[in-house]
A and B are shown apart, each in its own frame.
Chain A
Amino acid sequence: MALRRPLAPSSSSSRDARRLDVRSCSWLLTLLAMLFVPAVSAAQTASDAGVTTRVAATPPSVSVPPTPVHPAGFETEERIVGLSLVVGVDGVPREVTVITPVGDGFDAQAIAAAEAMRFEPARRGETPIAARIRYDMVFRPVAPAVVDEPVTEESSPDAAPLERSIAGRVTGADGALAGVTLTVSSEDGVVAAAETDAEGRFTVALADGSYRVTLRADLHRTLDRELVVDGDLATLAYTLVPVDDDELLSFSARAVVEPPPRDATRRTLSREVLTRIPGTRGDALRVVELLPGVGRPPFGAGFLIVRGAAPGDSEVFLNGSSVPLLYHFGGLTSFFNSSLLERIDFVPGNFSVRYGRRIGGILEVDPRDPRTDGVHGYADVNLLDASFAVEAGINENFSIAIAARRSYIDFFFNEIVPDGIFNIVAAPVYYDYQLLASWRPTAADRVRFFLYGSSDELSLVFGQPSGPNPNIRGSFGFVTQFHRAQLSYRHVFSPSLEQETMVSFGWNQVQFGIGDTARLELSTLPFQARSEWRAQLVPNVRLIGGLDIGAYPTSISFRGARPAQSEGRPTQASQGVVEVDQSATAYRPAVYLESNVTMFDRLDAVVGVRTDFFRDIQRWTVDPRMTFRYRVMPELNIRGGAGVFSQAPEFQESAPNVGNPNLRPIRALHFGLGTDLRFQPQGVSVTVDGFYKHIEDRVVTDSSTGQFVNQGLGRIYGLEVGARLEPGGPLPLIGFLSYTLMRSERQDAPDQAWRLFDYDQTHIFTLSLVWTIGDGWEAGATLRLVSGNPYTPITGSVNDLSTGTYRPIYGAVNSARNPLFNRLDVRVQKQFVIGDFRLSVYLDVQNVFNSTNREGTAYSYDYSQTSDIGGLPIIPSLGLRGEL
């Protein structure tokens, strides 16, 4: 009953693509002049080089169509589940994931049906190649079974009326149509269904009355007709009209021939899985912290610690544009609405030359296009915040989505903070918003406009000094906000040549104040642009070139203690107070080139080089990188990579008057080796990754001069194991397990011993399971066990008589460690379906056992007494979510 859809684009659609391509290029040329001019030049160069003689790629096509089975109790429902899958060279679908879930068990059934499908593989010339496609699995209503029961004249008035056998025939442009699905509906719903035989004939049994007959067939327009049964009828006759090529295109699944990954290790999570993980309150981005290689920040602070790298060493990209933060206060909620998410790609190291200026990991957040089939949306209300999203298709090619969220913690914050501490409390408040418009003028073009932003604000005012520190007075608080406007354009010139350009402009603001002690006001107007060309030169060689530009006009006003190295130095050296008011623009242009070569049908090798210029420190870097992936067998891959990565010093480290403008970029070498193992029938996949990273030219504070210098080293090594239970397996379970064994060390000067990194976590274990119970019920749990963070013990104190306050005397840096962190989160959800409306009630409880989990130590005024500072307590979140 699924609608089978051809995957090959029609010739007329290709013509339309070319026609609209010219039109869209003309206005984009104006809009994106700076980037597009070199892009056009590059296209010309590619053409001159003989790209036009390459062999075209053919998308896969269905050879064995699906036979989806409705979940029990939903037989009369019509649903469409959007899937993403990879069609292997053998035509077998793999990596089937849901990208547009509908719930109620349909998603799992859709995956099961898709996995039973078979395809003609995509081909490059005559050579079969793997391809990722999107496929809409359609569940048509199933007619209730007709029970033939004897009907007597003496039957009661409630007895079923007499049914007549009604026959008919369906024809198309070329005669009889077989396999046409016919459904007959009355006011009570579907009352009969049938499928035409080889001669286009069908028979249904109907009582007298009025009905609506719907006929559906592949490649034909759906036909609706009224039918009145009143006495015997002649044989019915229907004719279906074939769809035009343009219509066919709009109904076709989009087939994208995906090349092998460009990174040695890339962990991709689909939205369906992301939003169901316990302890995340349905927030997809929070699942990232549960992945292998991702450390746990203290206090749930929400920053990314990737493979033992400092938080600032990793970067988050949204639709290709860098964003400064991932989560609101305390990591409770991410800044981006999960309902607009398509997937998350996490690259913990050895990332492609597409990205640079970072020596840690990369997180790519990819929003989806808003739906074009009518108006949809949801509203979610829980104890901390409320959010909504609305999306609608303006027409088949243009759709728009709006989403927003705001906390209301400020409404009750004054009630939970004891009296007498704060004279004035303003906020805390967080909010975020997204507006996404997607336009697909042709099958070959996509234009996206994206407007989004996020804000967190907290401020307190102390009238007089509070606590044991006389400096705790005045206004305290912080504001972090960013806003972005982004325009991206992708054009597919041909199956083997495409170009994607993105420009974004925005505003970042950070304000931070601790009374008179410290004040920071930082404002940046980041401009980012990226233009990337991807060309399949020959069947086994792919070439990617790109331009990656960043310009960051920044103004800063700072007063406080002279900044010291941000990690591994608990001692706040009393080197006086500095005051800075200055503006500067950091220009960070980069170009990169990457080649992907497939050899022996089993080995993919990606070799690339990237060069960056850091204008603020007047330094160039050249970063060569390579990765490989070897398919030992369809279920087993071996992959690895090595490369050089560069990162500029932090602003305060290289700014004149505060830092050292003569610093060099920090450099890192990444080495990785891993394997993927997939047990398709069981829906289980396992990955194992080993890695080693060497960091040099780390910026540290010279102990004798207090200046920033490139004297530090770092070494990080470890092993990551991940296992996933994918949706659609034999069990009604999804989940994943991850374990990381790791050591991250630093050396702050050549003559010093190696020490632990601030966030070194030897063991990171996560087990998360979600059980689809049925009847709309779902339950799950996530267990985390993580080594405590290292800390520097305080061995004594000294009274500074100039202030009358005590200063701690520290022991060896990071020579002690907090106890093992343990936390169990659970989530229970019940979903009610009322027509097209879905209402979910969920309870998401973090830290069910209310484990104390020491995160730090509180000290008495002279450091003679201590007390543990615990982590987050039990946090129940009861929510209500309505979805249309």
Chain B
Amino acid sequence: MSPRGETRATVARALLSGGALCAAASLTACAADFQPVSFVDRSRVVGVRVSVDGADTTEPDTGDEVTLAWGVIEQPGATRLSHIAIVCAGGASTGAMAAGGCSGTPIATSGFVSSPLAPLTFTMPATDVTLLIATCDRGASVALDPRASTPVTCSGGETGARSDLAYLLLRHAPTDRDANLAVTWHADSLRFGGAPWPEGDDCTASELPHVTVGERVDAMGDPTGEEVVIGIVWDEGERERYARYRCTPTTPPTAPEDEIESLEVSHYVTAGELERAYSFIEGTATPSPLELTWTSPPRAELAPGVTRVDVFFSLRDVDPNCGTRGGYDLVRRTICVSPR
């Protein structure tokens, strides 16, 4: 979504949350010109893929060997991301700053500077586990104190280094139903301008999409970029069917319902603007094909030397009623740009 669109959405939310219809009259007053979440303004972790050795599930059982692979978005050629990761036994039902929930003995830790971040492996205990990861970009060193008012601090590195703190509650395999299966991007799931969009970041390769940026202006006379439609394709057979119970157990228990999982796609771009930050593939048998418009940066705003734009696609399986199910995958695609 464009910054302008983000602003509109913010206003719309204000309208709803404030409950004040007349706030419609204050549209501009409420506007906040923030960078959209779909823009890669820095290197950061946006997801984590859980792999269980010997199984295609996201909910490991006791004793399973679990590997966590970080989903990182970053500008091309960005300085490496430093991190500290801790995995603790025990869930953190009260959420985010369940950093306190990580008060037990860590069962796995990692801390180093690398890009991409190396996977973290541990053995699943008999309980849920909480994962906490702190990062600093621009080559800064990271320090983590979960109980401090500012849990993450960065030191050294380049000017403007920013910290980030992320967590994940990893559910133990259930005993009363089947464990959730992992989700994975397919090679032909993404299209650019109607054509298949292969992996790779070498802009000398002819199969990657190329966009020539000219001198277009919009209706207001402002420079604008080229618009290209990105397609996201998914079939019914590629989504998991599962038995959905009430999100919270009730008394007496309710019967399960047959569901097709929904898919949530988060997209991020290193240059230009995406029409929106998220796309949603409904849990219906024949979901509508998704289309997403990317607008290239106008020629005047094309940074010197930029010949490549990366687009990241995060994929999560979700239950629309009860939230995420645990599956995650991230892929990157590249657009090659050149001034006309």
Contact = CB atoms under 8 A, between A and B. Distances in A.
A421 B8 contact: yes
B14 A577 contact: no
Contacts, number: 224
Interface in A419-461: 420-422, 428, 458, 460
Interface in A458-499: 458, 460, 464-468, 470, 472-473, 476
B267 to A, nearest CB: 11
B1 interface: yes
A468 B6 contact: yes
B211 interface: no
Contacts of B32: 858, 860, 865-867, 869
Main secondary structure of the interface of B (DSSP, over half): mixed
B26 A870 contact: yes
B55 interface: no
B19 A465 contact: no
A307 interface: no
A46 interface: no
A234 B181 CA distance: 115
B22 A466 contact: no
Contacts of A856: 14, 18
A22 interface: no
A516 B149 CA distance: 33
B161 to A, nearest CB: 13
B9 A472 contact: yes
A575 B93 contact: yes
Contact of B166 (A421, A467, A800, A864): A800
A50 interface: no
Contacts of B264: 465, 470
A809 to B, nearest CB: 6
A301 B247 contact: no
Contacts of B316: 802-804
A704 to B, nearest CB: 9
A579 B250 CA distance: 8
Given A798-B166, A807-B95, A873-B25, A576 B248 contact: yes
A300 B248 contact: no
B118 interface: no
B150 interface: yes
A804 B46 contact: yes
A796 interface: yes
A789 B332 CA distance: 45
Contacts of B323: 577, 802-803
B332 to A, nearest CB: 15
A162 interface: no
Interface string A856-884: 10111110111101111101000000000
A799 interface: yes
B34 interface: yes
B170 to A, nearest CB: 9
Contact of B247 (A420, A476, A576, A860): A576
A771 interface: no
Nearest to A577: B247
A867 B13 CA distance: 14
A577 B247 CA distance: 6
A798 B248 contact: no
Contacts of B46: 799, 801, 804
A865 B97 contact: no
Given A332-B21, A861-B34, A867-B34, A578 B247 contact: yes
A185 interface: no
Interface string B201-229: 00000000000000000000000000000
Contact of B9 (A300, A466, A559): A466
Nearest to A477: B16
A329 interface: yes
A413 interface: yes
Contacts of A867: 31-34
B79 interface: no
B90 interface: no
Contacts of B36: 468, 861
B151 A796 contact: yes
A331 to B, nearest CB: 7
A802 B20 contact: no
Interface string A359-376: 000000000000000000
Contacts of A577: 247-248, 321-323
A422 B48 CA distance: 32
Contacts of B168: 800-802
Interface in A117-132: none
Contact of A330 (B21, B246, B247): B21
A573 interface: yes
B88 interface: no
Interface stretch (B119-127, B187-195, B277-285, B298-306): B277-285
Given A796-B150, A802-B326, A579 B96 contact: no
Contacts of A300: 20, 22
B274 to A, nearest CB: 12
B29 interface: yes
B280 A465 contact: yes
A323 B201 CA distance: 64
A37 to B, nearest CB: 41
Given A801-B45, A858-B14, A796 B25 contact: no
Contacts of A809: 96-97, 151
Contacts of A752: none
The interface centre, meaning the residue of A422, A799, A804, A873 with most chain B CB atoms within 10 A of its CB, is A804
A428 B247 CA distance: 32
Interface in A52-84: none
A563 to B, nearest CB: 12
Given A330-B22, A804-B314, A465 B279 contact: yes
Contacts of A866: 32
Interface string A679-690: 000000000000
Interface in A386-417: 409, 413, 416-417
Interface in A500-555: 514, 516
Contacts of A409: 21, 24
A575 B94 contact: yes
Contact of B24 (A413, A516, A802, A871): A413
Given A416-B27, A804-B47, A852-B29, A301 B9 contact: no
B141 to A, nearest CB: 19
B280 A470 contact: yes
A583 to B, nearest CB: 14
Given A867-B32, A873-B29, A795 B150 contact: yes
A301 B276 contact: no
Given A867-B32, A872-B25, 17 more contacts: A330-B22, A422-B12, A464-B276, A467-B9, A468-B6, A470-B277, A575-B93, A796-B165, A799-B164, A801-B166, A801-B328, A802-B324, A811-B149, A855-B18, A858-B10, A861-B36, A873-B26
Interface of B: 1, 5-6, 8-14, 16, 18-27, 29-37, 44-48, 93-97, 99, 131, 133, 149-151, 162, 164-169, 246-248, 250-251, 264, 266, 276-280, 290, 314, 316, 320-324, 326, 328
Pairs A-B, 5 closest by C-beta atoms: A867-B32, A330-B20, A467-B9, A574-B95, A465-B278
10 contacts: A300-B22, A416-B24, A417-B12, A466-B9, A466-B12, A472-B13, A473-B280, A577-B247, A799-B46, A858-B32
Interface of A: 298-301, 329-332, 409, 413, 416-418, 420-422, 428, 458, 460, 464-468, 470, 472-473, 476, 514, 516, 559, 562, 571-580, 656-657, 703, 706, 795-804, 807, 809, 811, 852, 855-856, 858-862, 864-867, 869-873, 875
